[in-house]
Amino acid sequence: MDFPIRIPLGKWVEVFVNWLTENFSTVFDSIKVIVEFVLVQLDSFFIWVPWPVALIGISIIAWIVADRRVAILTAVCLFGLGSLDLWIIGMSTLALVMTAVFISILLGLPMGILAAKNPRFDMVLKPILDGMQTIPSFVYLIPAIMFFGIGNVPGIIATVVFALPPMVRLTSLGIQQVDHEVTEAGIAFGSTPMQLLLKIQLPLAIPSIMTGVNQTVMMALSMVVVAAMIGAGGLGSKILYSIQRIDLGVGIEAGVGILFIAIVLDRILQGVTKKQQDAIMQQK
């Protein structure tokens, strides 16, 4: 039996996206230029730094923000990455992830703040965020290509779409969870809304915001692999290559390389989060 109606959703979206590409090409072009610029700077910097310097430098950072254990783990992972002959390509992945995360934070933080302060905005935002997280990520690779062509930039944009929600949600949550009485205290002493935000709400929301950053990084890392399908470089392209050739060896090596980067980023960020938490909670 036939279904009574057929909604041409696909057609509509196609028409809409086409209309966008035709009329806002300058906007997309300028976004592309900016993102590309950031990416190229980061990428060439990471590749320019000799591996021993990077290895030691990142380990020292890990020691400072976390502890000795994390520093050793970081050194081992980075050395592992290099020993699989994946250093350069790994650094490209790192640059991709960093760029995507940077953009996610830049967008997600103010959106989260706004969502926490404005219930109506929150109401509108919530289903959109849900959609961004649940629609299979492959689907929005297509509009990304239409807007930005093929290459690293659409890969990063798709990654941002995928990695943004936790940043927004956890920023909003962190602000909403600030002790009501402490917020009241801020107001009672005559804070302006901006003072309240900067001196009370944001500092107290930092553990939650850092958890958001951590999740955003992890999601970005998983997405850059998918983004390789539309021409993003890095370890993702290597994995894609191995799938196309059914080359298990290359695939495993690249996968382990991603794992190493994931461990390093996760542990360092967790260290930061924990330090912030300790400063705010009642323990040391």
Residues that bind another protein (CB under 8 A): 179, 181-182, 184-192, 195, 199-200, 203-204, 279-284
Whichever of 21 and 191 has its CB closer to another protein, that residue is: 191
Q: Are 50 and 87 in contact (CB under 8 A)?
A: no
- Quickly count: other Cβ atoms within 10 Å of residue 191's Cβ: 17
Whichever of 31 and 204 has its CB closer to another protein, that residue is: 204
Considering the complex, what minimum distance in angstroms separates the CB of residue 211 from another protein?
17
Considering the complex, what minimum distance in angstroms separates the CB of residue 193 from another protein?
10
Q: Are 17 and 144 in contact (CB under 8 A)?
A: no
Smallest CA-to-CA distance from 224 within 213, 214, 211, 234 is with: 234
Considering the complex, what minimum distance in angstroms separates the CB of residue 259 from another protein?
35
Considering the complex, what minimum distance in angstroms separates the CB of residue 186 from another protein?
8
Smallest CA-to-CA distance from 135 within 263, 9, 8, 262 is with: 9
Alpha carbon distance 213, 235 (integer Å): 22
Considering the complex, what minimum distance in angstroms separates the CB of residue 119 from another protein?
15
Whichever of 13 and 123 has its CB closer to another protein, that residue is: 123
Whichever of 154 and 271 has its CB closer to another protein, that residue is: 271
Q: Are 216 and 262 in contact (CB under 8 A)?
A: no
Radius of gyration of the chain (CA): 21
Single-letter amino acid, residue 76: V
Angle in degrees, CA 137, 138, 143, rounded to 5: 95
Whichever of 57 and 203 has its CB closer to another protein, that residue is: 203
